[in-house]
């Protein structure tokens, strides 16, 4: 595909790329040349009318700046207090404020103008995530006919939840400005089609694309993955024993951003059930939950933190022994190698989101296992990863007894079954590896019906 690649994402990595998606996008940009555009980590409010060079790689890194009010309204507000809860089925947590929507649109329009100024005729734009839903319609309104792709990393909302948005019909119109809308799972695609089917402005064409007023948009699933080979390598040489004398015999690990979508209270309560129902009083399972701090300026995140502290205090108060603390709630980030080492050491990976686009922790846990003595993945059926990972023990995280039962089963599982399930999961993880994901998405975008002309918009 000729033309440079323009990647737009909220976070722009500085320093050496690490982490699957960042490396994959970095590689795609290295291969084709182009620009990575994202929000400036520098909090300066100066120069919001231009993109700032973050430089230092063979492709360009350029940043747009936000005012403090825009950070509050566009990022913490509309993106993380409206769109995030709507897409994660938590409409009870949505906070509607007119300034949130106004700044969300203003930031996207400013960014569209900055991008349009620099765009070559063959350039291809790849927009990432819910921070930039309206970017394509705004670029189109400025006369841009380049191919523009979008990938939604989080779940596609239920159609009824969209009604909570201030202008529910915007959602379909915004998405229809793209040539390709990539979603995590087939279930997400079904939800997007349901939305378009219910919209009189949309018409399904025979090739499966959707004609929406003057635009034609393709919608397809591209389950995101990890750099499995890299994690397998790190895990094979990782330090798995940071516990010293307190090395737990049965280790259950959880690693999540501290987010209400991750089902952490349910995970803790299910572990409490497991302790309560223990038949063998000598069994001393330990749940190590490492939760990286996230979005601490949003009230819902402060509440969930207090809730988790209270539940872990209650469970430990009830079950701890002099030499055993059953629940270890570590509220911080740990470095990647250490985390992968802990995953390899654990007998069980417990991943319990109530809604999750994909959940990379589930895939990382699998890739980190020792093939000769693998641990077992217990996975929420509401994680995108569950759609293909049939070797995991799938659970409904709302059902505490089911989760507790699955963890018990996992702890007692014979080696032959563990290996069989692990091999199944590892195949899925390898097949969806991140480099393949990038190539598949960009090839599909290149084959989409181009936007030939632009009709004036209301
Ligand atoms: P999300 O994108 O919603 O945070 P994912 O599971 O898809 O969820 O990705 C989370 C990423 O963050 C994974 O790569 C995981 O290894 C990493 N991670 C999660 N918890 C921690 C932690 N406590 N410390 C360091 N990294 C973490």
Which residues partner with 215 through β-bridges?
212
Listed residue (116, 221, 210) closest to 172, CA to CA: 210
> Does the C-beta of 253 come closer than 6 Å to ligand 1?
no
Round to whole Å and give the CA distance between 40 and 63: 5
Query: Distance between CA atoms of 11 and 5, rounded to whole angstroms?
Result: 17
**pLDDT at residue 458 in the model:** 44
C-alpha closest to that of 264 among 302, 218, 224, 312 = 312
Asked casually if ipTM beats, i.e. exceeds, 0.85, the reply is yes
Closest to 315 measured CA to CA, from 264, 388, 243: 264
Q: Return the structure tokens found at 224.
A: 């995101």
Distance 288 CA to ligand 1 centre (A): 15
Q: Which of 93, 85, 398 is nearest to 267 (CA)?
A: 398
Is 153 an active-site residue?
Answer: yes
**Runs of H (alpha helix) within 14-149:** 20-32, 68-70, 84-87, 98-118, 135-141
User: Is the Cβ atom of 294 under 6 angstroms away from ligand 1?
Assistant: no
| Whole-number percent of the chain with pLDDT over 90 | 83
Active-site choice (153, 161, 227, 388): 153
The residues, ordered by sequence, that sit 6+ positions from 170 with a Cβ below 8 Å of its Cβ are 133, 134
Q: What is the pLDDT of residues 408-450, one digit of tens each?
A: 999 999 999 999 999 999 999 999 999 899 999 999 999 998 8
> What's the whole-number mean pLDDT along residues 14-38?
83
pTM given for the model: 0.95
**Structure tokens given for 7:** 């990647």
Distance from residue 99's CA to the centre of ligand 1 (Å): 31
- In tens, the pLDDT along 368-404 reads 999 999 999 999 999 999 999 999 999 999 999 999 9
Selection from 207, 186, 187, 190 nearest residue 198 by Cα: 190
Of the pLDDT bands very low, low, confident and very high (cuts 50, 70, 90), residue 167 is: very high
Alpha-helical regions (H) of 396-433? 400-412, 415-431
Q: If you average pLDDT over every residue of the chain, what do you get?
A: 93
The per-residue pLDDT for range 188-211, each reduced to its tens digit, is 999 999 999 999 999 999 999 999
* Contact partners, residue 73, CB within 8 Å, separation at least 6: 97, 99, 100, 102, 103, 104
Ligand 1 centre distance from Cα of residue 361 (Å): 6
Q: Using DSSP, state whether 145 is helix, strand or coil.
A: coil
Maximum CA pair distance of the chain? Answer: 73
Give the Cα separation of 361 and 267 in Å (integer).
15
Q: Rounded to an integer, what distance in angstroms lies between the CA atom of residue 74 and that of residue 133?
A: 12
For the beta carbon of residue 452, count every other beta carbon within 10 angstroms.
8
What's the start-to-end Cα distance of the chain, in Å? 33
For residue 319, the Cα-to-chain-centroid distance in whole angstroms is 34
Supply the DSSP symbol for 384.
G
Helix axes 264-276, 400-412, angle to 10 degrees: 60
**Cα gap 80→74, rounded to integer Å:** 8
**Percent share of the chain, pLDDT over 70:** 96
CA of 255 to the centre of ligand 1 (A): 7
Q: For 231-248, what is the mean pLDDT?
A: 80
Helix (H, G, I), strand (E, B) or coil at 83: helix
Q: Report the alpha-carbon distance of residue 202 to residue 306 in Å, rounded.
A: 45
pLDDT of residue 214: 85
372, with CB counted inside 10 A (0-12, 13-18, 19+), is exposed
Tell me the sheet residues that pair with 224.
none
Best residue for ligand 1 mutational test, from 79, 257, 333 (most atoms within 8 Å of Cβ): 257
Closest atom, ligand 1, to C-alpha of 335: 25
Cβ–ligand 1 distance for 87 under 6 Å, the answer: no
User: What integer is the mean pLDDT of 248-259?
Assistant: 93
Q: Is the CB of 80 under 6 A from ligand 1?
A: no
The tokens describing 425, both together, are: 């999961």
361 in Cβ contact with 256 (< 8 Å)? yes
Where residue 243 falls among pLDDT bands split at 50, 70, 90?
low
Q: Which residues make beta-bridge pairs with 278? A: none
Enumerate residues 6+ apart whose C-beta is below 8 A from 167.
Answer: 101
* Position in ligand 1 atom list of the atom nearest CA 340: 16
Best of 79, 361, 380, 382 for a ligand 1 pocket test (most atoms within 8 Å of beta carbon): 361
Phi then psi dihedrals of residue 309, to 5 deg: -60, -40
Cα of 123 from ligand 1 centre, angstroms: 32
Closest to 182 in 3D by CA, of 21, 381, 362, 389: 21
pLDDT value for 62:
95
pLDDT at 23: 79
- Under DSSP, the state recorded for 157 is P
Is 128 among the catalytic positions? no
257 Cβ inside 6 Å of ligand 1: yes
How far from chain centre, in Å, is Cα 429? 16
DSSP label of 443: H
Contact 334, 291 (CB under 8 A): no
Mean pLDDT to the nearest integer, 23-35 = 88
Give me 347's structure tokens.
């007998």
């Amino acid at each position: 595909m000729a033309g440079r690649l323009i990647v737009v994402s909220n976070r722009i990595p500085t320093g050496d790329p690490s982490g699957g998606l960042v490396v994959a996008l970095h590689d795609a940009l290295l291969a084709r040349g182009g620009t990575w555009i994202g929000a400036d980590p520098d909090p300066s409010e100066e120069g919001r009318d231009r993109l700032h060079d973050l430089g230092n790689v063979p492709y360009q890194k350029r940043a747009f700046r936000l005012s403090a009010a825009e950070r509050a309204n566009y990022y913490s507000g509309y993106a993380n207090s409206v769109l995030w809860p709507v897409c994660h089925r938590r409409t009870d947590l949505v906070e509607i404020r007119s300034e949130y929507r106004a700044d969300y649109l203003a930031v996207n329009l400013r960014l569209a103008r900055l991008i349009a100024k620099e765009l070559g005729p063959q350039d291809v734009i790849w927009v990432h995530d819910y921070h930039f839903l309206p970017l394509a319609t705004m670029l189109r309104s400025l006369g841009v006919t380049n191919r523009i792709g979008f990938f939604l990393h989080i779940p596609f909302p239920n159609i009824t939840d969209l009604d909570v948005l201030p202008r529910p019909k915007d959602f379909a119109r915004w998405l229809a400005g793209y040539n390709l809308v990539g979603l995590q799972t087939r279930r997400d695609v079904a939800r997007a089609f349901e939305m378009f089917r219910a919209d009189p402005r949309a018409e399904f064409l025979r090739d499966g694309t959707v004609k929406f007023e003057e635009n034609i948009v393709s919608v397809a699933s591209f389950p995101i993955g990890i750099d499995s080979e890299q994690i397998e390598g790190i895990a094979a040489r990782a330090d798995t024993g940071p516990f010293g004398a307190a090395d737990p015999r049965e280790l259950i690990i959880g690693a999540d951003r501290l987010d209400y979508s991750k089902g952490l209270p349910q995970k803790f309560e299910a572990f409490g059930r497991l302790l309560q129902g223990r038949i063998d009083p000598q069994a001393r399972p330990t749940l190590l939950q490492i939760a990286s701090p996230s979005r601490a300026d949003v009230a819902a995140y402060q509440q969930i933190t207090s809730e988790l502290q209270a539940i872990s205090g209650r469970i430990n108060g009830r079950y701890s022994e002099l030499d055993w603390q059953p629940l270890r709630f570590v509220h911080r980030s740990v470095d990647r190698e250490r985390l992968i080492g802990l995953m390899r050491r654990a007998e069980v990976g417990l991943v319990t989101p109530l809604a999750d686009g994909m959940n990379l922790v589930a895939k990382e846990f699998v890739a980190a296992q020792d093939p000769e003595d693998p641990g077992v993945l217990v996975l929420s059926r509401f994680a995108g990863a569950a759609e293909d990972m049939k070797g995991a023990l799938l659970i409904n995280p709302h059902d505490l007894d089911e989760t507790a039962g699955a963890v018990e089963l996992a702890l007692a599982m014979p080696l032959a079954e563990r290996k069989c399930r692990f091999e199944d999961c590892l195949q899925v993880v390898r097949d969806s590896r991140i480099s393949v994901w990038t190539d598949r998405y960009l090839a599909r975008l290149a084959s989409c019906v181009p936007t030939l002309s632009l009709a004036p918009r209301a």
